[in-house]
Amino acid sequence: MVDEKELRDVVKKTISRDDVKYVVGYEKGTYGFQATPCFAYKPEDAEKFIFSPLCVHNLTVFPMLEEKPPLRKGEEPDTRKIGVVVKGCDSRAIVQILQEKGLERDKVVIIGIPCSGVIDPKKIEAKFPGHIKKVEVNDEDDKFAVTVDGKTQKIPKDELMPEKCKTCEYPNPVLYDILIGKEIKSKKKEDYKKVNAFEKKSMKEKWDYWEKQFEKCIRCYACRNACPLCYCKECMVDQLNPQWVRRSVNLSENTAWNLLRAFHLAGRCIGCEQCERACPMGIPLMKLNKKIEKEIKEMFEYEAGISAEEKPLLAMFKPDDPEEFIL
């Protein structure tokens, strides 16, 4: 469990620095099982900050989402840093962005929190439907202690954790300026069990499955906006000339969008599951991302979001890349 006092002190210290514009963290949501992103511009704002298993969001989207309007005459560009509170998986997103040179290292202050797993909002919502009052959730070794209406229930972590946490190999931030609490050890390993199981299905079964999933898609692009790595200035679905994906919502265009989205994240997706969390229609988008992740690991022995110095996967090559045929 993270010491929230330590977190608030660190945030207060960070925001008091002259070269920091704001710090993004989590605060208690307005109702139910919610934590919402919270911005601290003044040292007093730090009092709102929390960290609990309900803090599922990947806050690294915020430095990337920030709009930079054209400067007025005589105006100086704002070169101050942005502070971000990150968990293990979120820190990998930052590393990946740094690797692609989407951000400069000295433009962010990374406040790292070792995380032993969060709660999937959809799963807890299904267990305690329609809760409007605020609730307490605490992390207790292998259980979550959920306090609803004054009664505390202990629920095994496996029942509430999202898939990513069950196989998380990086509970500690890969990159940070300030670490809160102690690093934790994890023995979990990604074994791609689900990917392997899906691979064994026949072509027909696979297509029937995806047809059903993509028919649901309403193309709200929430998956894109929640993704810390979807930060192109102009997304290819918004392009009109050439228009890769037409505006109409039908199976053919939905399939095209979901395929292109997943492939654009090839070698970049760090598996924070934000796309799936944001999807209002419950499409298992991570299935696509995981498949690509597995193939990359097998073919090119590469993992996204580990080292900021390495070159991006698809921008480099090795002479011993696998070949299908001999020349």
Partner 1 sequence: MKDFEPNIIGFLCNWCSYAGADLAGTSRMKYPPNIKSIRVMCSGRVDPIFILEALKKGADGVLVAGCHPGDCHYQSGNYKTNRRIKLLKKFLEEMAVNPNRVRFEYVSASEGAKFATIVTEFVDELKKMGPNPLKDVKV
Rg of the chain in Å (alpha carbons): 21
Q: Which of residues 298-327 bind partner 1 (CB under 8 A)?
A: 299-300, 313-317, 319, 321-324, 327
Nearer to partner 1, 16 or 252 (CB): 252
Three-class DSSP category at 179: strand
Residue 258 C-beta: closest distance to partner 1, Å: 9
What H or E segment, with its residue span, contains residue 36? strand 35-40
Tokens coding 4: 């929230």
Closest CA to 177 of 113, 114, 109, 115: 109
CA 61 distance to own-chain centroid: 8
- For 254, the enclosing helix (H) or strand (E) is helix 251-264
Q: How far is CA 67 from CA 183, 228, 231, in A?
A: 34, 15, 11
Half-sphere exposure of 1 (CA within 13 A, CB side): 13
User: Which part of the chain contacts partner 1 (CB under 8 A), choosing from 67-75, 127-135, 163-171, 242-250?
Assistant: 242-250
28 vs 194, beta carbon nearer partner 1: 194
Residue 79 or 252: the one with the smaller Cβ distance to partner 1 is: 252
Q: Is 235 in the site for partner 1 (CB under 8 A)?
A: no
**Shortest distance, CB of residue 289 to partner 1, whole angstroms?**
10
Whether 273 and 164 have beta carbons less than 8 Å apart is answered as: yes
Q: Which helix (H) or strand (E) holds 148?
A: strand 143-148
Cα(139)–Cα(3) distance, integer angstroms: 12
> Contact between 252 and partner 1 (CB under 8 A)?
yes
Among 128, 244, 284, 308, binds partner 1 (CB under 8 A): 244
Q: Least distance (Å) from partner 1 to the CB of residue 8?
A: 44
Copy the structure tokens of residue 38.
């919270």
Verify binding: residue 197, partner 1, rule CB under 8 A.
no
Beta strands in 65-187 (DSSP E): 81-86, 108-112, 136-140, 143-148, 151-156, 178-179
| Sequence-distant (≥ 6) Cβ neighbours of residue 183 within 8 angstroms | 114, 172
* Range 65-124, binding partner 1 (CB under 8 A): none
Site for partner 1 in 204-223 (CB under 8 A): 204, 206-207, 210
In the complex, the smallest distance separating the C-beta of residue 314 from partner 1, rounded to whole angstroms, is: 6
Contact pattern for partner 1 over residues 258 through 297, marking x by CB under 8 A = -xx-xx--xx--------------------x--xx--xx-
Q: Which is nearer to partner 1, 50 or 266 (CB)?
A: 266
Residue 1 tokens, joined? 């469990």
Among 158, 191, 199, 310, binds partner 1 (CB under 8 A): 199
Counting residues that bind partner 1 (by CB under 8 A) gives 39
**Pick 157 or 291: Cβ nearer partner 1:** 291
Q: In the complex, which residues of this chain contact partner 1 (CB under 8 A)?
A: 198-199, 203-204, 206-207, 210, 236, 244, 248, 250-252, 255-256, 259-260, 262-263, 266-267, 288, 291-292, 295-296, 299-300, 313-317, 319, 321-324, 327
